[in-house]
Amino acid sequence: MSSSSYAFGPTECKCGLSLMTLTSWTRDNPARRFGVCPNKYKKGIKHCKRWYWNDPELENKWYRTQLYEMHLLLNPSQREELENELTSREELAVLQVEFADMEGQMQQLMEELKKSQKMLSFGSQLR
């Protein structure tokens, strides 16, 4: 792993959005947290591919393997609960971004509506 990819990276993406903190459960990076742009999971827009490790890599392969194996040994209901919780967090982060976008769009529409109302009001005063 290159040292440039490990950092207690920024908390904000170039997009201006706060990075989501997720946890990797791969064999090579078990329980390793990373920050990722919410746009990575958003449909209909150009995907941002920026992400940063928040935790250092476990240098000892034995520790990585043991941690990963312990994760797999959780009883099925605990493992399913953990996976559902992580999925729910990701979905919540995506919904929060979409909500913020919709709020911005609604604000723009409200401003356009006010302008239209002013123009209509001005036009009726001229008559």
Angle (CA) 79-30-82 rounded to 5° is 20
- Residue 3's pLDDT band, with cuts at 50, 70 and 90, is very low
**Percentage of residues of the chain with pLDDT beyond 90:** 7
Kindly report, residue by residue over 13-51, the tens digit of the pLDDT: 877 888 888 888 888 888 899 888 887 777 666 667 777
Q: Which of 33, 27, 23, 24 is nearest to 56 (CA)?
A: 33
Decide: helix, strand or coil at residue 12.
Answer: strand
Neighbouring residues of 93: CB distance < 8 A, sequence distance ≥ 6: 20, 38, 41
pLDDT at 111 (0 to 100): 93
